[in-house]
A and B are shown apart, each in its own frame.
Chain A
Amino acid sequence: MENIFHFISEIGKLKADGRRGWKLHEIKDPETTASHSFQMAMLVLILGMKKDKDFDLERAIKMALIHDICEVYSPDLTSYDAAGIDEEDEFTKEDVDSLVPKKTRPTTKQRRKMKRVKEELEKEAIEKLTEDLPAEIGGEIREIWEEYEKRVTPESKFVKQADHMINLMQGIEYWKQGYEEIEHNLWIRRAKEVFDDPELKDFLIELEKSLSRP
């Protein structure tokens, strides 16, 4: 039980730190990774209940809870960090610390470079985080996390889009609170390129409607 206690204790760190993307926007008391994961798991649960029996809802909820736990040890890299990558130069994990984020939309080339390095760092982190857990439990967590990263299964595709949706919702929430630097229009534009899940597309329409509400 000592190793499980240690794991849960480490995961608790995700309740403490505000997410980097919001810190870059100088948001006061920014949302933490833990609160992001909770709201996202709820979205996965509720919209997942509308899906047909081919969809493995339990797997999707586990994925939502697991998807960001690597951030206990890995850097919380954002699309602003991706926008700071030099398109022509090689980008490796050694370059992460010296990366200067830019508050613009990254290009596809920059996104690809960031994806590779982020995956590498997060894989190392998830291995470190789960290595002392009982083999069966640690193995399952790594397996679900890898499935999420590969985005081949319907569950992982849906959970990734739900992750994007919760970020968008939170960004719009901050924009409504007066953080006008958040380029919500740009984010909504990206969302319309990303979401192909029927439920999430409907949810996006509701979110857009909420822009004009007081």
Chain B
Amino acid sequence: MISKSFNFNLPEAKGDLILDMNKKYHLTEQGLTRLKDELDKLIEKRKEKTKGEVPGVLHSEDLNPEYLDFREKIHFLERRIVKLKEVIKNAEIIEPPEDKKEIRLGAKILVEADGQEDEFILVGSLEADPAEGKISDESLVGKKLLGKKTGEEVKVSCKVETVYKIKKVEY
């Protein structure tokens, strides 16, 4: 059962989200650009999905399952769009600190752990991508590194203890 027009009210996406409108999101320039690109793609996708034929609300006397499925997909897109707009609106670009030896968000850190060197960029949770070397400040290692300086060591332990020697910090 297909209707010719887009004939239902979009769900109130905002009402379904727990949004803290005052929350600040600390992002790198690159991270913010990535989110803006993602937002553009989602808006484009929503446009594509809602153009053309849209399933009708009723199939015989029952609710049309195709309509429910369609509505759910649009709802998902709406939620993502609202959330991303909120993040972008409240984004604060990370600025390097005065003391460039101190680890803050956005720092590129060279560490040595278990005799092996590795490099990380410390970012907020939204931007974290460990496969790209971007570790979150909310990870167990990220939390410990935050605020430390070149030459210092941090221990991350539970049953297994690892010592990270901070060899270089740059922005």
Residues of A within 8 A of B (CB): 52-54, 56, 59, 104-105, 107-109, 111-112, 115, 140, 150-153, 157, 184-186, 188-189, 192-196, 201, 204-205, 208-209, 211-212
Contact = CB atoms under 8 A, between A and B. Distances in A.
Interface in B28-79: 34-35, 38, 73, 76, 79
Contacts, number: 88
B138 A192 contact: no
B131 A111 contact: yes
Interface in B101-136: 113-114, 116-120, 125, 128-133, 135-136
Contact of B114 (A107, A189, A192, A212): A189
B118 A194 contact: no
A59 B139 contact: no
Contacts of B125: 157, 196
Nearest to B124: A196
| Majority-rule SS of A interface residues | helix
B34 A152 contact: yes
List 4 tightest A-B contacts by C-beta distance, closest first: A108-B133, A196-B136, A196-B138, A192-B140
A201 B138 CA distance: 10
Name the interface size band of chain B. Answer: 35 or more
Given A153-B80, A189-B160, A196 B18 contact: no
Contacts of A140: 73
Given A54-B79, A195-B140, 6 more contacts: A54-B17, A111-B131, A152-B35, A192-B140, A192-B156, A211-B160
A146 B120 CA distance: 25
B158 interface: yes
Contacts of A153: 80
A211 B132 contact: no
A157 B128 contact: yes
A52 B18 CA distance: 9
B162 interface: yes
Given A151-B129, A194-B139, A185 B160 contact: yes
A108 B118 contact: yes
A188 B116 CA distance: 15
Contacts of A205: 158
A119 to B, nearest CB: 10
